[in-house]
Structure 1
Amino acid sequence: LLLAEANQWPEDTREYFGDGDECHMAFHFPLMPRMYMAIAKEDRFPITDIIRQTPEIPEICQWAIFLRNHDELTLEMVTDAERDYLWETYASDKRARINLGIRRRLAPLMERDRRRIELMNALLLSMPGTPIVYYGDEIGMGDNIYLGDRDGVRTPMQWSPDRNGGFSRADPARLVLPPVADPLYGYEALNVEAQVSDAHSLLNWTRRMLALRGRHSAFGRGTMRFLTPANRRILAYLREYGEQVILCVANLSRVPQAVELDLQQFEGRVPVELTGMSPFPPIGQLTYLLTLPPYGFFWFQLNAEADGPAWRKAPPEQLVDLVTIVIRRSLTELAELPHHAAVLSRDILPAYLSKRRWFGAKDQALQEARLVSATPIPFADGIVLGEIEVVLPDHVESYQLPLAAEWDDTAPNVLAQQLSLARIRQGRRVGLLTDGFAVEMMARGILQGLCDRSTVSGRTGMIEFIGTDRLDGLALTEDMPIRWLSAEQSNSSLLVGDLAMIKLIRHVFVGIHPEVEMTRYLTEHGYEHTAPLLGEVARTDGEGRRSTLIIVQGAIRNQGDAWNWMLSNLRRTADEIVLTEAAVETGDEQLRPLLHFISMVGERLGELHVLLAQPTDNEAFSPRRADARDIADIRKTITGEITYAFSKLTDLEESVEPEIAEQIALLLAERDRILALASKLADEAKGTLLTRAHGDFHLGQILVTEGDAVIIDFEGEPARNLAERRAKTSPLRDAAGLLRSLDYLSATAMLENDAISDHHDARRREVIRRFAENAERVFLTSYIEALAASPDLPKTPAEVRRIIDIFLLEKAAYEIAYEARNRPKWLPIPLDGLAGIIARLSESRS
């Protein structure tokens, strides 16, 4: 490698490259002082200006970029005025000046400000070229300006707090230059040995950033394109290489800054912040707003396939054109008057439903959608409970769409505007016809109706507001804030203060809703680890058929769901253990809080199953033993799931990556043996107790509360009908769901990481693997201990494992089919899971 150290302007240095047949690299001297200038002046111009002056170089050549080196910070490639400014800013002590430069290291230049040191390194690592780091800058070494010439920045490397900083065992007097020994930068306080064991040290931060840069070719080989936001304190640029697009944003200012970036060409992409693999909200048509702390920076990969952040709720998709409907008295006319019903059915509802996430029949041809009823809600003036009948090719579905008029003179909230169906006029008053769920008055009216046990007659039957004693004991007030949780999921939920959660059932089924039934039973029997039932709004039609419309439960203060809470903590802890070179076994102690939580989940689930196993006169909850018909049903379900999963794998075998295709081929070759094993395994359930169960249990159905776990969402699997969701089954099906969820958690934690090398990646995987094993062990231990309170449930680990294995096979097969349909790249997780289950079962049976 031939490297030119030519302290010249870019156009002059360009000559050293020839046509790619002379020097391979050359130092970019003019860029370095301008990075310092940009931070000092809090203006991006010095950097953007010199980069724009830099000519193209042969493709096989590269610039060498740096912040400091063994000589002075040279100021030859700046104007006299700029040199004076940099001297006054960074070398006010004239002993730090030498020739036409500054003889100081990076950390003293940045006044030991970790934020500025990190920002300068982030700029260095993301600029075009190959970064060169001067020894010692990775730990923030200082200098000694009292030594002559340039020796002040050439002091021995500080490896440890030992003699001569670990640089040499020689007599200190015999060293060519003494190590730095002052209180701030001295080798006893600042050295490699100390920083290696500190996960948050500058050394470990630098190692992570270098590894991160190495994983993205755009930094080393990509083009650079500046963005021009109005805020000049923000430096923003794109590094692009093939399909890879990385957005770098830096705040050059000492105070927080906001910036709006024009990223419209990347509409729909999700910016994933690379230092933490954190997804940000997707880019839209408007400018993209970011806020940055003092000297903060972001590196975003603009990903076309990533999901947005888990906490984000995408704004509802709005109708482009709104039809105007004229009413005389009330919104009930929308269902009563034929011409209004025709307009809704023809011009509004088909387009509106296609944009709603809660409408579950988007993949079918919608033949007709009609509003069949609009029943006023007591104490919610002007709001009606609307029911829509949707005619599909082979059946009819019912959906619930409350309707409200939000008049222009009352300043409708944003959600009401986003969910609007049409314009509406009543006399001289105009406004929006919108989803009543978005209007505060609906929530307050529902609670008041429940408190008063109201009943309302409508076109489709009698609507009852059925409150509970728990509701009567709450101190509900008119001024409690309303917070919408999800307007666009399969159901729509909101919180009233911190007391109640209202869930609007969108897809209405005839029959007893399992969540109402389960939470009422659990509340009445004193189970404290779920949200208590406060009330239900139900409709009974003219034929006596009952449907649940709204469920109201107690609100649970929480730290989020167990999936996101545990994933975040597991990733963070694994990264810290790997970076500090600590023994892998130390992770067991650091991950003890997560293991304690999993143990708590096992205990709470076991207590739930013990309660549901108790004898009762309530036929819906009365346990029974599995007979031959039940075993046949279990066998049919498991073999059906496996057969369907294998059919999906066969369809995908030719289109997936080679590694996944190899996994698929191995499984398909064992198809007959796996089906035979599953069929035989079903016999293990003979005589076991069948009870009601959660039905869709995984980490996302658990809330993390202070010192405890709360189980939520007893609705069952939404894809199944009410009868299937209410059916009795082995409670151990829930335990199998949790074990598969833990497997997914560990696999997901391994996907994105800060591993610096293959060695670190292997150690990180070992930490997570040990956690997975320990998590399964503590969950089953606490679960089995809790089951001991029931004389009818399995009591020994062997019994429990034998039955759980049945449902682990079923769950893994279901996951394979789901990933094959929706996320083929995730297939390795359930494929590995199924292969592991089969291997363990084969070994145990042999």
Structure 2
Amino acid sequence: MTSPLLSEIGVGPTQVPASSLAALLARWLPRQRWFTGQGRDITGVSVAAATKLSADCYHLLVRVDQRGSSDGAYYQVLLGVAAHVPPRMGPSLIGEVEARPGERLLVYDAVHDHRAAIVLLERLRRGGTMGHLRFESLPRTSVPCGLTPRVLDVEQSNTSIVYGDELILKLFRHIQPGMNPDLEVTGALARHGFTQVPAPVGWFQTEAPFWSTLGMVQPFLTESTDGWELALQSGGRRTGFTEEAYELGRTTGELHMALAKAFPTDIGPVDLPVRQADAMTHRLLRAAASVAELRPHVQALQEVYAAVVTAGGDPPLQRTHGDLHLGQVLHAQGSWHIVDFEGEPAKPVADRRAVRSPIADVAGMLRSFDYAAQSGAVFLPHWADRCRDAFCAGYGESGGFDPRAVPAALRAHEADRAVYEVVYESVYRPDRITVPMTAVARLCAARGARAPGSSDRPAEEA
């Protein structure tokens, strides 16, 4: 569903031609970290919904059609249009258009415009509707005004704006129908009293071209450091990270127990190993079809997955984090906090809301320790192995089982995660594909060993 709503876009009486804007967006979107259609030709760009936020800022839902896909993808864009912009906005420029003969207008990403960011927070504070947008906040929640905004300069699949070190607004860039899992999960955990996840205090959504969550506001954890940075710091100081990894494992176990209570399910372990192995094999074959480096390992990986069927031990399915790694956890005020529950943004919302094995989250964190150890920093010998063991031990204290007690399941989930990473790196960071490929080779060589960790490495690596 698209509509020619671009007729409103302009400055004063001047209008931006739809064809010019579409051409600019078609060049700009693929360069954004949050664009999920990398590597495929764009065949069409159109505006599905537009709302004027201020005199020179528009909220757009942009539909992008690409070769090889029957359905268009939708992205959230705050578009600024002005005859002049401050020099600091230079990196945010999308391009220049001719509104009418002799008159040029600059089009820019207004997320980085303080005025647009303030408008968004003010709308969240006041609530109500504005064009195709609806703004809401929890009862008795006060969203303050007058907070200075700044955009976080971090690599992520969305855009986050911090207001006065009090609040953080996350804008979901790739928009799909329905409630975003990040809002759904954090809200449910807050209602069940789990305090290690920042609770949402406000959100906004769109009613057109479909109902969907567009953004959410949470308290900002001041003086916090993400797990990735802490891990790298430990490597640079040549100190261990096992105590932190143990506590992180314990917090993750507590999270899974809370999620099981917040999202009860009657799905038992019947035929679960077969279903898990089949799903992993399906993902593997799709990945190998697009990434040649995986093809020599297909048979061995299938054996890794098949071992789950004979060994069993995978716990019941439940709601999980969905994309857990060191970048999704923050250490603040002496404890770990877990954030970003939207799952893998490229997947459909239904898949991201689906129940999974909690071991999948554990495997994601184990892979993250491996990434940190190969980041180029100075690490102690076997740093990753010790962190992995400590994390699993901490998880076993609070999560109901020790992941190391189900080695076949843990190895299969870690291999499944490594295959996902291979595909991701082949698209976004080809120079880093050797990191997950090394893990794939290691896990294949170790199939049948006692448990993932230091013991599953070939003798020449020990």
**Same fold, judged at TM 0.5 (above):** yes
Q: Deviations over 1:388-423 (max 9, x none)?
A: 222323332222222234464xx6351266324436
Query: Where in structure 2 are the equivalents of 1:59-74 lying within 5 Å?
Result: none
Residues 388 and 399 in structure 1, CA contact (< 8 A), matched pair in contact too: yes
What TM-score comes out, normalization by structure 2 length? Answer: 0.82
Query: Where in structure 2 are the equivalents of 1:189-268 lying within 5 Å?
Result: none
User: Relative to 1, partners in 2 of residues 1:784 and 1:434: Cα closer, same or farther, differing over 3 Å?
Assistant: same
Match of 1:401 among 68, 71, 77: 77
- Residue correspondences, number: 440
Is 1:693 the counterpart of 2:320? The answer is yes
Is 1:438 the counterpart of 2:112? The answer is yes
Query: Where in structure 2 are the equivalents of 1:284-363 lying within 5 Å?
Result: 327-328=11-12, 340-345=17-22, 347-363=23-39
Residues 395 and 402 in structure 2, CA contact (< 8 A), matched pair in contact too: no
Q: Deviations over 1:273-311 (max 9, x none)?
A: xxxxxxxxxxxxxxxxxxxxxxxxxxxxxxxxxxxxxxx
User: Relative to 1, partners in 2 of residues 1:383 and 1:693: Cα closer, same or farther, differing over 3 Å?
Assistant: same
Partner of 2:245: 598
User: Relative to 1, partners in 2 of residues 1:405 and 1:488: Cα closer, same or farther, differing over 3 Å?
Assistant: farther
Three-state SS of the structure 2 residue aligned to 1:600 is: helix
Residue 632 of structure 1 and its aligned partner are, at CA, apart by 4.2
Partner of 2:193: 526
Residues 62 and 74 in structure 2, CA contact (< 8 A), matched pair in contact too: yes
Partner of 2:136: 466
User: Relative to 1, partners in 2 of residues 1:419 and 1:559: Cα closer, same or farther, differing over 3 Å?
Assistant: same
Query: Where in structure 2 are the equivalents of 1:657-806 lying within 5 Å?
Result: 668=296, 672=299, 674-682=301-309, 688-748=315-375, 751=376, 753=378, 767-769=380-382, 771-788=383-400, 795=401, 799-806=405-412
Partner amino acid, structure 2, of 1:734: D
Match of 2:260 among 613, 616, 626: 613
Partner of 1:195: none
Residue 602 of structure 1 and its aligned partner are, at CA, apart by 0.7
Three-state SS of the structure 2 residue aligned to 1:552 is: strand
Is 1:366 the counterpart of 2:13? The answer is no
Is 1:561 the counterpart of 2:167? The answer is no
Rounded to whole Å, the distance in 1 between the matches of 2:56 and 2:433 is 50
User: Relative to 1, partners in 2 of residues 1:328 and 1:424: Cα closer, same or farther, differing over 3 Å?
Assistant: farther
Match of 1:812 among 418, 439, 442: 418
Residues 232 and 377 in structure 2, CA contact (< 8 A), matched pair in contact too: no
Query: Where in structure 2 are the equivalents of 1:57-206 lying within 5 Å?
Result: none
Rounded to whole Å, the distance in 2 between the matches of 1:682 and 1:714 is 29
User: Relative to 1, partners in 2 of residues 1:341 and 1:723: Cα closer, same or farther, differing over 3 Å?
Assistant: same
User: Relative to 1, partners in 2 of residues 1:530 and 1:392: Cα closer, same or farther, differing over 3 Å?
Assistant: same
Partner amino acid, structure 2, of 1:414: R
Rounded to whole Å, the distance in 2 between the matches of 1:844 and 1:626 is 26
Residue 715 of structure 1 and its aligned partner are, at CA, apart by 1.5
Q: Deviations over 1:725-762 (max 9, x none)?
A: 111011121011111211222233xx565xxxxxxxxx
Match of 1:477 among 145, 163, 166: 145
Three-state SS of the structure 1 residue aligned to 2:189 is: helix
Q: Root-mean-square deviation (CA), in Å?
A: 3.5
Partner of 1:640: 282
Residues 389 and 397 in structure 1, CA contact (< 8 A), matched pair in contact too: yes
Residue 598 of structure 1 and its aligned partner are, at CA, apart by 0.9
Match of 1:623 among 244, 259, 265: 265
Residue 699 of structure 1 and its aligned partner are, at CA, apart by 1.0
Partner of 1:830: 436
User: Relative to 1, partners in 2 of residues 1:681 and 1:535: Cα closer, same or farther, differing over 3 Å?
Assistant: same
Residue 569 of structure 1 and its aligned partner are, at CA, apart by 2.0
Partner of 1:447: 121
Rounded to whole Å, the distance in 2 between the matches of 1:510 and 1:548 is 8
Residue 498 of structure 1 and its aligned partner are, at CA, apart by 0.6
User: Relative to 1, partners in 2 of residues 1:673 and 1:328: Cα closer, same or farther, differing over 3 Å?
Assistant: closer
Partner amino acid, structure 1, of 2:324: F
Partner amino acid, structure 2, of 1:830: P
Match of 2:207 among 540, 543, 565: 540
Q: Deviations over 1:797-840 (max 9, x none)?
A: 66454532331221233334445666666555434434444455
What TM-score comes out, normalization by structure 1 length? Answer: 0.47
Rounded to whole Å, the distance in 2 between the matches of 1:493 and 1:555 is 11
Q: Deviations over 1:246-287 (max 9, x none)?
A: xxxxxxxxxxxxxxxxxxxxxxxxxxxxxxxxxxxxxxxxxx
User: Relative to 1, partners in 2 of residues 1:434 and 1:830: Cα closer, same or farther, differing over 3 Å?
Assistant: closer
Rounded to whole Å, the distance in 2 between the matches of 1:396 and 1:514 is 21
Three-state SS of the structure 2 residue aligned to 1:368 is: strand
User: Relative to 1, partners in 2 of residues 1:640 and 1:708: Cα closer, same or farther, differing over 3 Å?
Assistant: same
Residue 353 of structure 1 and its aligned partner are, at CA, apart by 3.2
**Which structure is larger by alpha-carbon Rg, 1 or 2?**
1
Rounded to whole Å, the distance in 1 between the matches of 2:428 and 2:49 is 36
Residues 494 and 503 in structure 1, CA contact (< 8 A), matched pair in contact too: yes
Partner amino acid, structure 2, of 1:768: P
Structure of greater relative contact order (alpha carbons < 8 Å, 6+ residues apart): 2
Residue 640 of structure 1 and its aligned partner are, at CA, apart by 3.1
Rounded to whole Å, the distance in 1 between the matches of 2:162 and 2:107 is 23
User: Relative to 1, partners in 2 of residues 1:745 and 1:682: Cα closer, same or farther, differing over 3 Å?
Assistant: farther
User: Relative to 1, partners in 2 of residues 1:688 and 1:384: Cα closer, same or farther, differing over 3 Å?
Assistant: same
Residue 696 of structure 1 and its aligned partner are, at CA, apart by 0.7
- Name structure 1 gaps, 5 residues minimum: 1-324, 335-339, 574-589, 653-663, 754-763, 789-794
Residue 496 of structure 1 and its aligned partner are, at CA, apart by 0.7
Residues 96 and 104 in structure 2, CA contact (< 8 A), matched pair in contact too: no
Residues 644 and 817 in structure 1, CA contact (< 8 A), matched pair in contact too: no
User: Relative to 1, partners in 2 of residues 1:684 and 1:406: Cα closer, same or farther, differing over 3 Å?
Assistant: farther
Partner amino acid, structure 1, of 2:145: T
User: Relative to 1, partners in 2 of residues 1:645 and 1:711: Cα closer, same or farther, differing over 3 Å?
Assistant: same
Rounded to whole Å, the distance in 1 between the matches of 2:12 and 2:354 is 48
Rounded to whole Å, the distance in 2 between the matches of 1:547 and 1:450 is 16
Rounded to whole Å, the distance in 1 between the matches of 2:124 and 2:231 is 37
User: Relative to 1, partners in 2 of residues 1:689 and 1:470: Cα closer, same or farther, differing over 3 Å?
Assistant: farther
Residue 708 of structure 1 and its aligned partner are, at CA, apart by 1.8
Residue 553 of structure 1 and its aligned partner are, at CA, apart by 1.9
Residues 732 and 800 in structure 1, CA contact (< 8 A), matched pair in contact too: no
Rounded to whole Å, the distance in 1 between the matches of 2:91 and 2:159 is 17
Is 1:549 the counterpart of 2:214? The answer is yes
Residue 631 of structure 1 and its aligned partner are, at CA, apart by 4.2
- Name structure 2 gaps, 5 residues minimum: 1-8, 452-462
Rounded to whole Å, the distance in 1 between the matches of 2:370 and 2:172 is 31
Partner amino acid, structure 1, of 2:411: D
Residue 674 of structure 1 and its aligned partner are, at CA, apart by 4.3
